[in-house]
Amino acid sequence: MQVWCFVGANGLWALCGNEAGVTLPEELGPWTFLKVASLDGAEKDELEAKSLITEHGFCCFDPSTVS
């Protein structure tokens, strides 16, 4: 699954299924595009992110907690 990665005003990151970031929550923005990424679902976190993106259009996370 191809996703677009954005960073919010307070350092929160988000993965979005839309390159324009239209589904990202406005209250956590403004959002700045970082990069395109691919989720292959090999890791538990990636499976959860894919599920959230499918359901809500985005997945937010704190990058300092990602290994």
3-state SS of the chain?
CEEEEEECCCCCEEEECCCCCCCCCHHHCCCEEEEEEECCCCCHHHHHHHHHHHHHCEEEECHHHCC
Q: What's the confidence (pLDDT) of residue 67?
A: 61
How does pLDDT run across 18-36, given as a tens digit for each residue?
A: 999 999 999 999 999 999 9
Domain count, the chain: 1
Contacts of 1 (CB under 8 A, 6+ apart): 17, 38, 39, 40, 41, 50, 53
pTM of structure: 0.87
Domain of 57, in residue numbers: 2-65
Task: Give the mean pLDDT of 38-59.
Answer: 90
